Amino acid sequence: MDSGLTLVLLPLALGIIMLGLGLGLTVDDFRRVLAYPKAVLIALACQVLLLPLVCFGLVVAFDLDPLLAVGMMLLAASPGGTTANLYSHLFGGDVALNVTLTAINSILAVFTLPVIVNLSLAHFVADSDGVGLQFSKVVQVFAIVLIPVALGMLIRRRAPELAERLHRPVKLLSVIVLVAVIAGAILKERENLADYLGSVGLICALFSLISLGIGFGVPWLFRVDRRQAIASSMEIGIHNSTLAITIALSPALLDSTEIAIPAAVYGIVMFFTAAAVGYLISRGTVNQPVAAGEARPERTAT
């Protein structure tokens, strides 16, 4: 794939996606942590600490090729995707909690993701000296992720009507650019695509199911509200594969199509696993009346 294409279009696609996320966020989404700190802290602990350990165990058990193993760890370190908000809404989850977790996770990942990626490269790739996400590259990730989010939030605060009008076109544009870039990557690796799918298809499905299960099961064990547990499941189980693909493919970051393969496969598999798990855990919850004093979410940021 032409390096100029990935160098410009991939960060552009991710920037547009994060701008769209910012257009749906307000400062209250961060303040809401104080409303239910237990649910937030448990979900963040699962996302940041537990999932990378689970993924590492799966990678070792499946004996993946080194770069594919790094790609799985990159995926595990990526925050929840905004698609989680939509799935949470469909299956009766607390969408307000999803929005809050997405916002906080996106910030935390700027610091945690490079650490996990660099440790994974050092462990799985023998000749990884000097390769990885150095500080200068972390700054680039920071700029790509947080600046568009901040800009979107500023637009929503200063011109809420404009933010509402921009939300759908921005989302559509990001999808078009992202599909074009991923299609180019697939064409470049078309001869190896079947092997890649065979290598990571099953582990991606298992990791998705385990992520969704952890996201619901751990909060449930700690007696978190069922709607919040569903939201946590969707947030933890639906990773931001777009971010992982961008970091993997960008020539300024990891510059590896093979590292991007797990995220690309996961980005497809998760739609089906999340739908199946969402149906199972939400039975009897969808359309359930909201308890007295509990705020009903008024919007869905997707």
The region that residue 253 occupies, defined by phi over 0 for left and psi between -120 and 50 for alpha, beta otherwise, is: alpha
Give per-residue pLDDT as tens, 48-103.
999 999 999 999 999 999 999 999 999 999 887 667 877 888 888 887 788 788 77
Q: Are 267 and 240 in contact, with CB atoms under 8 Å apart?
A: no
Total-model pTM = 0.76
- Confirm if 238 and 66 have CB atoms less than 8 A apart: no
Q: Token pair for residue 300?
A: 């869905």
Measured between alpha carbons, how far is 211 from 72 in angstroms, rounded to an integer?
Answer: 13
CA distance 88 to 102: 12
| Percent with pLDDT over 90 in the chain | 26
Is 294's pLDDT higher than 50?
A: no
3-state secondary structure of 299: coil
Helices (H) and strands (E) in the chain, counts: 13, 0
Domains delineated in the chain: 3-282 (1.20.1530.20)
Encode pLDDT of 130-189 as tens digits.
556 665 666 666 677 678 878 888 888 888 888 888 877 876 776 676 666 666 666 766
